[in-house]
Each structure stands twice: as C-alpha cells, then as structure tokens.
Amino acid sequence: MDGRVDVGRPSDGAGSTGSGYGRRGGNRRECDAMGMSNETDPGDDGSDSAEEAYVALDAEWRCVGVNAAGARFLGAPEEKLYGSSLREAAPALVGTPFEEALRTAIGNDDPGTADGYLADRDAWYELRAYPDDGGVSAYFRDVTARRERRRELEAYEARFEALTGSTEQVVLTMDDDRTVQYVNEAVEDLFGYEPEELVGESLLELVPERFHEAHGATVDHYLETGDKSLEWEWIELPGRHRDGHEMSLGISFGETVVGDEHRFTAVMRDISERKRRQQEREADIEFLRNLYEVTTNTDLTLEDKIDRTLALGCERLDLPYGFLTRIRTDDDGDGRQVMVYTRGDHPMIQPGESCPLSEAYCRETIEPDGFQAIPDTVAAGWGGDPAQERFGLGAYIGGKVVVDDELYGTLCFASEEPRERPFSEAGRMLVRVVSRWVSYELERHRQQTDLQHTNDRLEGFASVVSHDLRNPLTVAKGHLELAREKHDDEDLAAVDGALNRMETLIEDLLTLAQEGEAVTDLEDVRFGELCEDCWRTVRTAGATLRVESTGEIRADPDRLKQLLENLFRNAVKHGSTSPPSHAREDAVKHGFTGSRPEADDAVEHGSTSPPSQARENAGSENASEPSVADAPEDTVEHSSTSSRPEADDAVEHGSTDSEDGEPEVTITVGDLEDGFYVADDGSGIPEADRETVFESGFSTSEEGTGFGLAIVEEIATGHGWEIRATESEAGGARFEITGVDRP
C-alpha cells in the first residue's frame, strides 16, 4: 500500500476508534470461503462502494485470508499477501487509528472500529475489526460518499435552522442574476425595506455602490469556475440601509442547485456594534502605546509632553479641545481658573485665559469625586449656566489634577457640539489615566525644580567654601610653617593637625557636592584592572587585595575609581581585627561619646592613633612636603600621593611589611549577579549602624570626617545603583553594589 493514511481532515473531523459492533456471523475462514465481497453493514443505504475489502490476520498479524477487494486495498496480489505481516504489507497503517482498532480486536478480544482518510485515493474508509480465534477479521469500506451526504445534510440543516430559528437575522435567497427571490421580515429592522419591496429587485440595493462592480465580478467568477474567492461560512462586508447609512454585516452564504438553476442563501446580521467595540479596543491600545512613547521620551520637555498628550487625547476622544487648567481657590471659596496648556482654536481656551471659577465647568470637576463626563451639556442641565454662557461647550469630560496631595487644577477635553453617544467606559478611563499621569509629571517636575534649586545653592556654597575658606587656610598654613622653623613647639604641631583636618573637611565637602549629579556618560570599564589601579593609589601598609572579578561594567571610570578608593581606604583604616572591647575603649579614649551597642571598629571605626601631619597633608593641593619620619599612618578618606611598587600578580596585591599601628586586613572584590561587592575580614559593622554609615558626618573616630561613605553612596546613586552594608563571610564589612549594567 503506497499511499499514506491521513487521519482526520480539518473539515471532516479527526479519525476515531471504538468498539460496539456486534460479532458478525462466521469466523474468518467461513468469511473467506464465502468471499465476503458483498457484505454490507446493517442499516447501510448501499450507496457507498458495496464491495468491502476483507483481510484476516492471525495473532502474529500475518495475513491468513484476503478477498480481491482486500488485495486491491493493500496494493498487492492475493498470493503474495498470504503469510505476510500486515505491518510490512501496509506500513502506512502503523500508528493510526486503524492499527489501534486491530490491536483492540486481537489483544482484547473486543470488536474495534476506526475511520480515516487515505490521501492517495482521496477517500475516507471505515474499518470494522472482529476478534476470531486469537486473530481478527477486518473489513475496510469506502465511505466517502456517505460522509459527503452527511456534510450536505448538516449544511442544509444549518441553513434551515437559520431560516426558521433566528428571526433577528435577515435570511435572503437570490438567483444567479443576483435577483432577490425571498427575504424574511427581519430585513425591515436591518435595512429599512419591507420584504415585498425587495423581492424581484437586485441584491445590489443592499450593497454600497462602491462595491457593486466587485460583487458582480465575484458571483460571475464563481458561476464560471466554481472557485470561491471568499470563505462562505462567514464574511464581514458593509451593507447599505435604505436611508443611505452603512453598517457592518456578518454574512453566511449557502448554495442550492436545482437542475441548471442556482439559488444562493445569505444569512445576515448587524455586527456594527461589535466592530465598533473592536475598533475602540484597537484605538485604546494604539493610544496607550503612543502615550507610553511620549511619557518615556527623556528628550521632551514637560511642556512638549503635555502638549502631545493633549493632542493624543483629542484624537482618541474625537474632541477638538484639550486643556490643562490651574485653579486657585480663596479661603472664602472663591477662585479662578487659568488655562495653562491648550489644544484647539476656541477663543476662551487659550494659554493665559482665565475666568472666575463660578463660570467654569471645572468647578464641578474639582469636587471630591473629581471627574465629569457630559456628552450633552444642555441635556445635563448646564443650559443658562455661567459656564455655558462663557464657553458654549456641547460636550465635556475632565478629571482632577492633584500635585503633592493638593489641588492643582483639571485636565479636560471638550467640543462645541454635543455627542450622539455617551462617553464609553474606555474613554472615561483614558481621561482618568491621563489626569493621573499629568499629576505625577507635574509633581516630579516640581521635585526636580526644587532639587535643582537645592543643587544650585549647594554649588554656591561649594564655591564659597573653595574660595573664601581655602585661601585663608593656605595663608594660615604658610604662617604656621614659618613659625615652626623658629620654634619647635607641641602647640604648633596641634595647630598643624587642626589645619590639616580643616583642609580634609573642605575637600570632602566639595567632593560630596559634586558627586550627587546623575551620571550620563557611561563607558565599558574593565572592572578588575580598575580595582588594581585604585589599590596602587591607596596607602595599604599590611593590607591585601584579592580581585575575583575579570569582567566589564558600564560606569563613569573616574567616579567609579573614587568609589573604590574610598571603600579601600575605609577597609584599610577600619579593618582592625582587634576585639570589639578594645575598639570601644579606643573610641572612648579618643573622644567618641555617642552611645553605640556594638563595636566601634567597623567601617568608620578602628585605628585609634592620631593621624600624622604628613599623612593628612598627602592628597591636598596646598599641603607642605612631609618628611618620612612624620608619616607612620594613613588617613581614612584621602589617598596618599606616595608611589607604590607594581603588584606581584593580577589577582592578589598586598604588603609583606605592616607598618606599626596599621591593621592587617584582606579586602576582596567580587561579582554579584547584577553588580559587585567589596568585603574585608575586619571586625565588621554593627547591624544597627548599617543604615546610618552612609549618612554625611557619621563617624566614630576623631580623625574621620564622616563623608567617605556618603560620597560612596552619592556616586552609586548617580549611576542609578543601590548600595547596602552587610556582613562578610569572614565577619567583616561587606558593601554590595547592585543594579549595575554590563556590556
């Protein structure tokens, strides 16, 4: 059998198997002896091919009996089929419902049935399999004609049901000249014609004129070729009412042939409302897509965003006017409405136009409910109202705009003509959404403006600090240097330390003022290499750096470098592994009096020896050159200008010689899923302090300015990152920076 078995056409249903046929008289040998060539199923109308293909199989699926029709069915001479396996003789049956039905009869001793489509014959076959002495007697019959008749009957029944059971639908028949032969009473409701007015007339009376030619060509093409250019089961086409207006129709076509005459049946229903809702949904989706593009466009100003949003709203609502108002109310309840942004050419709806609130529709919009949708203002009772006299609007819809929990104004759309239909729920929701977005955008703009003013004041302060404090400080340090050349006095050394600390505070204040700005120019930074570069600029004494990151991140390299250097310096200075009690004693000894529940040798804790003058001067533009003898220790916040030897390798860097008083600490830099971390094996940060360590001025040592980690947080925030302090695996401090992008 060369053809494949294609079980189940989409239009005819899938092939099926089952049981339920009774055992036919006689076993397979008796059937073979009788030929079975004219066996028919009880109740069969005999109109299908009467000859059945009979095949008998034993328990091993070998052919032990076959008639002539069976041989033709299997595609081989009878003598070659005896003793052969059915799977070999008809491999196309393997894996189909036919095989399943045969297996049911052989294995379960139950009759089985199946039907399927044979593509090579373009025909449907039915199988009935009966168990017989461990084997099976199988009968295949061509049932194509029966199935076609069944389909025709079902189609006829469907048309009949449409004709008799659905009075709301128009049922119409016409001949091949498109002349109406019959139409039911429903045509009057849908098209405005009485049935008798259309019978004998052309169907084109119900078709918009622009489709006349195409309609005629389609019918003629079908009559000539039998080719359906459209799917007859359901077609969506426009129809024309008697008064000329159009509606959307859903049409099902059928055909009846009587002799040489054709009768076409059309069942029509009005789907205009459904189409309208569908179009509204599509328009809503398009509006939201466009609104998203506008609101997320960082290149647009606030004015541009609101203007485009008003334009989108006018287009979607099919209203010519859109406006954002500012409403100012007095304590006595009076107030004014001022037009801020507007769309349209209404003379009273232009930027800057104002009126008493009592003459504005918006006086109702700002009530607690905060929303109005009026398709017809006169019908809604606004006729003769001062607002109607001033603006003369026919339709109005508006929502309340609230900024920082206070009334700002309203966002509205309107027209001078009333609407034929009420505002849809989707349209109402649209205005609510836009009103809330405008509220949010105005609030954000106000916050940005306030922030910009704050930054401007901060920059002014930084300028004053830089000029008015640095200059006298430089003069004071010069005089101090001259005084120390004449007198070696401990009091002068204390003055030197105080001046150095003032310089450190000035540097940190300037840095903190600059680092709050958002980062806009990002580069691909080789993170591991940058860590090593930063390590070379930090006085690390007995500290060791382990870099476990080799990838790249997106960052401003200069600001990232400062972030890493600050974290490294804090880890080196505050990474002491001395017991917490010692650290607390050190903090008290050096003047820290704040109450703290945990050890004070965490990030801003640790070394208790006062910093040398030389180290405080390192990194300052105006610092005098220190002597080597005066430089035993590092500072927390500022890098040393002394050079370091090159690292021994790219992974671990450290010093084998720890200077007196310097803690020995290992700092590890590694990757996170969306960022990186810097950890040490020092004494860690008390849990109660992990939020406050980033606050400006937070410090537990006299030497620290308290700005180091505040600067780190500002840099991270400027990149759009997040930073948190936690505990490392070794019990020390660990800083996790997340939200970092990679190339």
Average pLDDT taken over every residue of the chain: 76
202: Cβ–Cβ under 8 A, 6 or more apart, which residues? 178, 179, 180
Q: Is 672 helix (H, G, I), strand (E, B) or coil?
A: strand
CATH among 3.40.640.10, 3.40.50.2300, 3.30.450.40, 3.40.50.720 for 287-421 = 3.30.450.40
> What residue ranges of the chain are covered by domains with CATH 3.30.565.10?
518-738
Using the predicted structure, report yes or no on whether residue 10 has a pLDDT greater than 70: no
What is the token pair recorded at 364? 């109702």
The predicted structure's pLDDT at residue 338: 95
The predicted structure's pLDDT at residue 701: 59
The predicted structure's pLDDT at residue 107: 75
Q: How far apart are CA 97 and CA 7, in angstroms?
A: 8
Cβ-count burial of 656 within 10 angstroms (0-12 exposed, 13-18 middle, 19+ buried)?
exposed
Q: Residue 291, by phi and psi: left (phi above 0), alpha (psi -120 to 50) or beta?
A: alpha
The predicted structure's pLDDT at residue 603: 35
Using the predicted structure, report yes or no on whether residue 238 has a pLDDT greater than 70: yes
Among 203-217, 270-284, 383-397, 466-480, where is mean pLDDT lowest? 466-480
**Biggest alpha carbon–alpha carbon distance for the chain:** 140
- Where residue 706 falls among pLDDT bands split at 50, 70, 90? low
Among 16-25, 56-65, 500-509, 544-553, where is mean pLDDT lowest? 16-25
* Interval 609-649: pLDDT, tens: 333 333 333 333 333 333 333 333 333 333 333 333 333 34
Beta strands in 19-67 (DSSP E): 53-57, 63-66
* Interval 351-369: pLDDT, tens: 999 999 999 999 999 988 7
Q: How far apart are CA 583 and CA 605, in angstroms?
A: 8
In this structure, which topology does domain 5-148 adopt according to CATH?
Answer: Beta-Lactamase (3.30.450)
Q: How far apart are CA 479 and CA 687, in angstroms?
A: 46
Please give the distance of CA 263 from its chain centroid, rounded to a whole number.
53
Axis crossing angle, helix 490-515 with helix 425-464, rounded to the nearest 10 = 150
Q: How far apart are CA 19 and CA 101, in angstroms?
A: 8
Q: How far apart are CA 564 and CA 533, in angstroms?
A: 10
- Strand-pairing partners, residue 265, are 173, 254
Rg (the chain; Cα; Å) = 45
**Of 49 and 153, which is predicted with more confidence?**
153
Residue 76's CB is within 10 A of a number of other CB atoms, namely: 18
The predicted structure's pLDDT at residue 103: 85
Using the predicted structure, report yes or no on whether residue 375 has a pLDDT greater than 70: yes
The predicted structure's pLDDT at residue 487: 77
> What residue ranges of the chain are covered by domains with CATH 3.30.450.20?
5-148, 166-270
* Interval 678-700: pLDDT, tens: 999 988 888 888 888 888 666 65
> What residue ranges of the chain are covered by domains with CATH 3.30.450.40?
287-421
Please give the torsion angle defined by the CA atoms of residues 424, 429, 432 and 438, in that order, rounded to the nearest 10 degrees. -110
Q: How far apart are CA 426 and CA 446, in angstroms?
A: 30
* Interval 242-278: pLDDT, tens: 998 988 888 888 777 755 667 788 888 888 888 888 8
Among 579-593, 692-706, 717-731, where is mean pLDDT lowest? 579-593
The predicted structure's pLDDT at residue 258: 59
* Interval 512-533: pLDDT, tens: 665 556 677 889 999 999 999 9
Beta strands in 276-343 (DSSP E): 321-329, 335-343
The predicted structure's pLDDT at residue 699: 64
Report the percent of the chain where pLDDT is more than 90.
28
Domain with residues 518-738, CATH architecture: 2-Layer Sandwich (3.30)
468: Cβ–Cβ under 8 A, 6 or more apart, which residues? none
Residue 184's CB is within 10 A of a number of other CB atoms, namely: 17
- CA distance to 3, 320, 360, 438, per residue, from 323 (Å): 72, 10, 13, 12
Written as one letter, the residue type at 251 is I
What is the token pair recorded at 525? 């930074």
CATH among 3.30.450.20, 2.60.260.20, 1.10.645.10, 3.30.750.24 for 166-270 = 3.30.450.20
Residues shown for the chain: 743
The predicted structure's pLDDT at residue 396: 97
The predicted structure's pLDDT at residue 134: 81
Please answer whether residues 440 and 301 qualify as being in contact, where contact means their C-beta atoms are separated by less than 8 angstroms.
no
The predicted structure's pLDDT at residue 382: 94
Q: Is 513 helix (H, G, I), strand (E, B) or coil?
A: helix
